[in-house]
Amino acid sequence: MSQLVQIQPTDSPEVITLRRELSWAHLKIQVLEERLRKQRIDKYGPASESLTNQQLELLEAEPGVSAEEVSAEAGRDPQELEIEARRSKRERRPHPGRQELPEGLPRVERLVTLPASQCTCGACGKGLAVIGYESSEQLDVEPAKYIVRVTRREKRACGHCGEAGVRTAPAPARIVEKSLVSDRVIVDTVIAKYCDHTPLYRQSAMLERDTGVEIHRATMDGWVMQVGELLQPVANVILRHLVSGSYLQADETPVDVQVRNGAGKNHQAYLWQYSRPGGEAVFEFQMGRGREGPEKVLRKFQGILQTDGYQAYNKIGGEKLVHAACWAHARRKFYDAVKLRPKDAAAIAIVDRMDAVFAVDTEARELGLEPEQRFVLRQAKMQPLLLAMESELKRLSRQVLPASALGQAVNYTLSLWARLRRVLDYPELELSNNLAENSMRGIALGRKNWIHVGSPVAGPKVAAILSVIESCRRLRVPVREYLLDVLPGLGRVNIRDLESRTPAAWMRRRQVG
């Protein structure tokens, strides 16, 4: 934080004016230095965060600097910028030992025998008896084996009178009727795209390479859209369950959509995510980032809504809706301020205070406390931390330049202080909505591979697929097994029976069975 020029009682009006101008110049230089450092860090990557401004200037003077050179330069004069290093060092956890392979995987044994020359005793010359085996296990894989599955439906007719006509066994329910491929191929295509982030054109090429069967990616896209359409009612049921609860985390992320408007550019749409920690999640597709999206979904919600402070979430929901903020977002802004000014003691002190807040919940997790027990711990240890932090933030707000990184962090945190303090009012409330943010990582990876959603009409279908896949991931539901069980015939299921088709209901049914 820049030191302001002090005005002395004996200063003349002219000197006072000069001192004020000098103070303003110092603050302006600070903001400009922060902007320049941020640009250089963005240019040279994370390794440059630990470099001094002088080192960054040297890199600027060298054309074609590589990532290895940046890392090497960082190693010359390392600085303690990582805030985690400022915390007390935690004891190293003991190594868990060799990982055991799951018991459910089938075992294929291979017997390795001694050579015949070693099967006789070196002392008496008699044959050696087998007294046991040395066993070891390795995870192995059999290459994918493509087959043509032939379904023969029995036909019967009366051999005496022929009056009753011909009766044929009913066709099994399928995901895509009359498709050239099986349900398993369709499900694997969906999983490859939205779990493994493999675009359809690559899958088409891989299938032709491995089987000699040429299936155009447009055909595969038809399979995916059929799956999305079938899963939309399931996603709606999940959303109804979430909105009827008492606690939601929400976040949003951009996704490009192809539009036929003649401009030749994609439209930036958004996927809004609503979830509960430890529960299912739903993505909702919207063409914009305005309030209309959350307003439509949360108009009857009466519980706690935890978000990052984005204004679109304000003034929505039922009368009893309670807004809560995310401590991770607040901490991140101070952490970024430290990256820009590594020796800023004020920013470092606030990050340390926030780390102490997170340490309370870390202690609760390590002790295995339930939310109500964690709430008692918060009251005892977290409340005095927040009181001291609030006082420090208010003091800083009167001293720092609002446009500086530290000033922006202080103002952001104070503007959401009432919402941040809600962790002292509600036992179930988490410190951050990192779980909601983590659900976006798959979409971020997918965007780099499948680039965009094909059309605005496809958006809700893609959102439904992502909702089910993310819910399965959170609940540890085997997604391939779930989809193969639920999708065939799903379009003919009565709307009242959809309650039993969600990932959570499917998992409960499986556990009972």
| Residue tagged 């990184």 (tokens) | 405
Are the beta carbons of 382 and 357 closer than 8 angstroms? yes
Residue-by-residue pLDDT tens, the chain, 513 positions: 444 556 667 777 777 777 777 777 777 777 777 677 677 666 656 555 555 555 455 445 444 444 544 454 455 444 443 444 444 444 556 666 667 888 888 999 999 999 998 999 988 888 999 999 999 888 888 887 888 999 999 999 888 887 778 899 998 999 998 899 999 999 999 999 999 999 999 999 999 998 889 999 999 999 999 999 999 999 999 999 999 999 999 999 999 998 887 777 888 999 999 999 989 999 999 999 999 999 999 998 999 999 988 889 998 888 899 999 999 999 989 988 888 888 889 999 999 999 999 999 999 999 999 999 999 999 999 999 999 999 999 999 998 888 888 999 999 999 999 999 999 999 999 999 888 888 888 888 888 888 888 899 999 999 999 999 999 999 999 999 999 999 999 999 988 899 999 999 999 988 886
Could you give the CA distance from residue 203 to residue 188 in angstroms, rounded to a whole number? 10
Give the DSSP H or E segment for 324: strand 322-324
Q: Where are the beta strands (DSSP E) in 122-179?
A: 155-157, 166-168
Are the beta carbons of 189 and 223 closer than 8 angstroms? yes
Total residues found in the chain within this entry: 513
Give the DSSP H or E segment for 339: helix 327-340
Give the DSSP H or E segment for 270: strand 267-275
Could you give the CA distance from residue 508 to residue 513 in angstroms, rounded to a whole number? 9
Q: Sketch the domain layout of the chain as residue ranges.
A: 181-324+435-513, 327-432
**451 phi/psi in degrees, rounded to 5:** 70, -55
Are the beta carbons of 416 and 330 closer than 8 angstroms? yes
Q: 68-102 burial, b for 16+ CB within 10 Å, e for fewer?
A: eebeebbeeeeeebebeeeeeeeeeeeeeeeeeee
Q: By C-alpha distance, which of 471, 466, 445 is closest to 199?
A: 445
Q: By C-alpha distance, which of 287, 294, 256 is closest to 273?
A: 294
User: Is the sign of the CA dihedral 418, 424, 428, 432 positive or negative?
Assistant: positive
Are the beta carbons of 477 and 506 closer than 8 angstroms? yes
